[in-house]
Amino acid sequence: MAIIICSDRDGTITKDENYYLGKQEHWKTLVQFLDGVVEGIIALNRIPRSYFYITSNQAGVALADPEFEQLTEERMHEVMQYVVAQLSNQNARIDGYFTCPYVDSAYVAKKKGKATVHPHYVKDGYPFLKPNPGMVEAAIVELHKKAGMDEPVECVYVIGDRYSDMELAMNVGNKGIPSKGILVPEHKTNELGDEEKVRALVAQDISRWHIAKNFRDAAHWIERDV
């Protein structure tokens, strides 16, 4: 049976300082891996029948202001492929990635007066937009194609720095797929009050939810749980 790990990118794998990686000419110089990421992914790669995917909302593509002119869907994929290649160069295997350039009406309302959102990229209920489970479902479909068979999924682990990543794990579970969530807090986590929300989940079910010190700790929790 397969183990699938789906990790957020910005603020979980790479440093997130509102860079919107890809909008700058020098975006490659801004790619920095967070503490424990490389070691953590390598540890997860050692788990038998485990597959590691990056699942990332990329709302910057939807922003229409001049400073985001370079952040196209093509650039979004270029950045993801660069991140995957840099990790691979350090022996951290990424089996694939999925991204979502679309946003919903709630995001548009949040950005009102701060940024302009291109109407083409506003799609309420879009299946790939986290916390909707579309990207995880796509990872499972891709895995089945690679395996050449419908290999049963023992568990999907979702790693991220936002409560929405935990909601993703919930929504995957609602599809009948065993799932667990691991929060790796970064500065935005506490700004949004997300750690408190996840602490409530841990109090309800410590076997399904975990708050990690860093990515390495998240990986060790999964290793112990498998």
Concatenated DSSP letters of 188-218: HHHHTTHHHHHHHHHHH-TTTEEE-SSHHHH
pLDDT at res. 93: 98
pLDDT confidence of residue 175? 95
pTM, two decimals, is: 0.96
Q: What is the pLDDT of residue 202?
A: 98
Query: Quick one: pLDDT at residue 147?
Result: 73
Mean pLDDT value of segment 39-61: 97
What confidence score (pLDDT) does residue 146 get?
A: 81
pLDDT in tens, 27-38: 999 999 999 999
Return the pLDDT at 187: 84
Which one, of 104, 138, 134, lies nearest residue 119 by Cα? 104
- 146-183 per-position pLDDT tens digit: 877 677 899 999 999 999 999 999 999 999 999 999 99
In the numeric block, the tokens 């891709």 are attached to: 142
Cα 34 from Cα 66, distance rounded (Å)? 29
What is the spatial distance between Cα 7 and Cα 3, in angstroms, rounded to a whole number?
Answer: 13
Chain centroid to CA 213: 17
Summarised one tens digit per residue, pLDDT across range 67-97 is 999 999 999 999 999 999 999 999 999 999 9
pLDDT tens per residue, range 106-144: 999 999 999 999 999 999 999 999 999 999 999 999 998
Task: Confirm if 133 and 139 have CB atoms less than 8 A apart.
Answer: no
